[in-house]
Amino acid sequence: MASQRQINVGGVPIGGGAPVAVQTMTKTETADLRATMDQIKRVAEAGADIVRVAVPRDQDVEALKEIVQASPIPVIADIHFNYTLALKALDAGAHCVRLNPGNIGGPDKVALVANRANELGTPLRIGVNSGSLPKHLRELEFENPVEALVTAAVEFVELMERLDFTNFKVSMKSTSVPNTIASNRLLSERIPYPLHLGITEAGTKWSGSLKSAVGLGTLLADGIGDTIRISLSTFHAEEEVKVGWEILKALKLRERGPVLIACPTCGRLQFDMDTVVAEIERRLEAYEDPIEVSVLGCAVNGIGEARHADFGITGAKDTGMIYSRGEPLKKVPTERLVDELFAEIDRYYKAGKRVVRDESRAAEARSWLAENEDASAMTPERMAAMEAAAADKEASPVAGRRFTRTRT
Ligand code: SF4
């Protein structure tokens, strides 16, 4: 169930139906101001809504004062063990402070932090981690790790409520994808507060992205989760942001930049599509509009499932074709496909988002397509289309959920 409460982290609403926010965490030494600010600028450019910085020492608090002033996006201070650092981070102007009520020195210390946060109107993120559950839940953790995580989170929530503090979101992290899914599902039924989702220590860019896509994607598709962070073993925090966005874009929860669709290729392919797709993906990074661009490895399928794409190419050995919204635009030599595709995209923007068609070139492309298309071929796309049509007859498991939300 989606969270009912909303908090505001430095101007970014979290929960209560707000768009799912993408977060990351800097990997620099926070006190290294130049390196930290460089990374914050890079993650902001990649689309991070919020950034978290580690604050393990006093010199990091000093840097934090300048970071919150200079950062283009809200900054969360990440605190462990030391409640005085949490107080100092609040006073330094952090837009939110993340702490684990279980490792900050007991309820009295949590109360001091909550009181100060209340005075300043600053939200907190209270985090529970499978690796640092309170002692009295250790036994339960062996028997039922999901229940142990959820119990810890609920106990912390109740503690905050007893302290008259409700300006918080909750994160419950585990390295296990099934446990993350199960525990967040349970917690979302038990508390009304916004949830931050992540898979702890997910791994490298490849495996970590997949684990995160499966774990977070499953929850987000159910409407659970208000902000996400993809934890990847890389020094390039912007990679985490890109993966987070791809998950949200795949679920149509948010839009950002073009969407690239590409066929998986098969034995019909006659040109170097790997290189072409990589080049198109790279060049599309310069565009902000959510246009859909499709790349088909051959024309046997006609324009097939790329019919809805704003622009697309289909290639062959020597000649390919550029199309737009199901209609051929022009035939071009294969080695010119990418340049001509971008020429058409730029022409579209120059004409005020209007596809510019040259009828004689379009007619030429249509006849090339007719020669190359084989309406009877059972291609991967046609099989997928048949399966999708069959599935459409059954009720969609995600109907009515939050897929239409866009950033305001
Ligand atoms: S048949 Fe489909 S998968 Fe194979 S190259 Fe053509 S478009 Fe790509």
Structural domain contains residue 399: no
Check residues 138 and 178 and name the one with the higher pLDDT: 178
Torsion of CA 224, 229, 232, 235, to 10 degrees: 170
Q: Is the pLDDT of residue 340 over 80?
A: yes
Structural domain contains residue 296: yes
Pairing status of strand 319-324 against strand 311-314: antiparallel
**Ligand 1 lined by 273 (C-beta under 6 Å):** no
What's the rounded Cα separation, in Å, for the pair 298 and 271?
A: 9
Q: What domain range is 53 assigned to?
A: 6-250
Q: Picking from 88-97, 161-170, 318-327, which range would have the lowest pLDDT averaged per residue?
A: 318-327
Same structural domain, 169 and 92: yes
Going by pLDDT thresholds of 50, 70 and 90, the confidence category of residue 395 is: low
What's the rounded Cα separation, in Å, for the pair 166 and 2?
A: 17
Structural domain contains residue 35: yes
What's the rounded Cα separation, in Å, for the pair 135 and 399?
A: 42
Return the structure tokens found at 383: 């099989």
CA of 295 to the centre of ligand 1 (A): 10
**Ligand 1 lined by 380 (C-beta under 6 Å):** yes
Same structural domain, 216 and 282: no
What's the rounded Cα separation, in Å, for the pair 252 and 274?
A: 26
Q: What CATH number does residue 156 fall under?
A: 3.20.20.20
Structural domain contains residue 38: yes
Q: Ligand 1, closest atom to CA 269?
A: 5
Return the structure tokens found at 309: 């794409």
Q: 76-101, pLDDT tens digit by residue? A: 999 988 999 999 999 999 999 999 88
Residue pair 261/293 in contact (Cβ under 8 Å)? The answer is yes
Q: Ligand 1, closest atom to CA 377?
A: 1
pLDDT at 376: 67
Same structural domain, 145 and 48: yes
Q: 247-297, pLDDT tens digit by residue? A: 999 999 999 999 999 998 999 898 899 999 999 999 999 998 999 999 999
CA-nearest of 378, 250, 363, 392 to 304 is: 378
Residues 6+ apart with CB under 8 A from 234: 27, 204, 205, 240
Same structural domain, 226 and 324: no
What's the rounded Cα separation, in Å, for the pair 319 and 92?
A: 61
**Ligand 1 lined by 301 (C-beta under 6 Å):** yes
Choose the final residue of a domain: 250, 271, 303.
250
Indicate the pTM of the whole model. Answer: 0.85
Q: Ligand 1, closest atom to CA 264?
A: 3
Q: 7-30, pLDDT tens digit by residue? A: 999 999 999 999 999 999 999 999
Same structural domain, 336 and 239: no
Taking the alpha carbons at both ends of the chain, their separation in whole angstroms is 22
Q: 120-130, pLDDT tens digit by residue? A: 999 999 988 87
Same structural domain, 33 and 177: yes
Check residues 244 and 383 and name the one with the higher pLDDT: 244
Structural domain contains residue 395: no
**Ligand 1 lined by 265 (C-beta under 6 Å):** yes
Q: What CATH number does residue 272 fall under?
A: 3.30.413.10
Q: Picking from 25-34, 140-149, 177-186, which range would have the lowest pLDDT averaged per residue?
A: 140-149
Q: Is the pLDDT of residue 374 over 60?
A: yes
Choose the final residue of a domain: 192, 223, 250.
250
What's the rounded Cα separation, in Å, for the pair 119 and 114?
A: 9
Q: 361-373, pLDDT tens digit by residue? A: 999 999 988 888 7
What's the rounded Cα separation, in Å, for the pair 253 and 390?
A: 25
Structural domain contains residue 115: yes
Q: Picking from 14-18, 25-29, 41-45, 380-384, which range would have the lowest pLDDT averaged per residue?
A: 380-384
Domain count of the chain?
2
Q: What is the mean pLDDT of residues 324-332?
A: 93
SS3 212: helix
Same structural domain, 140 and 263: no
Structural domain contains residue 33: yes
Number of helices (H) and strands (E) in the chain: give both, helices first.
Answer: 13, 15
Check residues 68 and 397 and name the one with the higher pLDDT: 68
CA of 2 to the centre of ligand 1 (A): 39
What's the rounded Cα separation, in Å, for the pair 131 and 313?
A: 49
What's the rounded Cα separation, in Å, for the pair 298 and 373?
A: 9
Across the chain, mean pLDDT equals: 90
Same structural domain, 209 and 285: no
Same structural domain, 189 and 276: no
Phi first, then psi: what are they for 336, rounded to 5°?
Answer: -105, 0
Give, for ligand 1, the residue of 296, 374, 378 to mutate: max count of ligand atoms closer than 8 Å to Cβ: 296
Q: 212-221, pLDDT tens digit by residue? A: 999 999 999 9
Q: What is the largest CA-CA distance in the chain?
A: 78
CA of 375 to the centre of ligand 1 (A): 13
Return the structure tokens found at 301: 């399928």
Give, for ligand 1, the residue of 271, 300, 378, 383 to mutate: max count of ligand atoms closer than 8 Å to Cβ: 300
Q: Is the pLDDT of residue 383 over 90?
A: no
What's the rounded Cα separation, in Å, for the pair 149 and 166?
A: 20
Same structural domain, 332 and 219: no
Alpha helices per DSSP H over 289-379: 337-350, 359-372
How many CB atoms are closer than 10 A to CB 1? 11
Same structural domain, 290 and 213: no
Residue 335 identity (one-letter amino acid): E
Structural domain contains residue 169: yes
Return the structure tokens found at 223: 């409407």
Same structural domain, 120 and 185: yes
Choose the final residue of a domain: 250, 268, 295.
250
Return the structure tokens found at 106: 């007991």
